[in-house]
Amino acid sequence: MSTTKWRKSSRSGNGDAGSNCVAARAAGAGFEVRDSKPSEDSPVFGLAQGDFVALQENAKRR
């Protein structure tokens, strides 16, 4: 499976403990999403492309 580097959301804040940090990367035919704060060992959630797009659209409305 081909993956790209993790990219942190530009809306995640400056990295302080109270900020909400989300990172995503392309992986195969879909995407992987994780909380970027704890460590590189954060749980990773695999999403199909359509599900990732829906997640982004939902986040934009909030």
List the domain boundaries for the chain: 7-60
Q: Which residue has the higher pLDDT, 59 or 50?
A: 50
pLDDT digits (tens, 9 = 90+) for 6-45: 888 776 666 555 566 788 999 999 999 988 776 667 789 9
Q: Which residue has the tokens 């403990």?
A: 17
pLDDT of residue 57: 92
Predicted local confidence at residue 37, as pLDDT: 74
Q: Please give the backbone phi and psi of residue 43, each rounded to the nearest 5 degrees, phi first.
A: -60, 145
The confidence score (pLDDT) of residue 60 equals: 82
Which residues are within 8 A (CB) of 12 and not within 5 positions of it... i.e. 6 or more apart?
19, 20, 21, 22, 36
Its pTM surpasses 0.85:
no
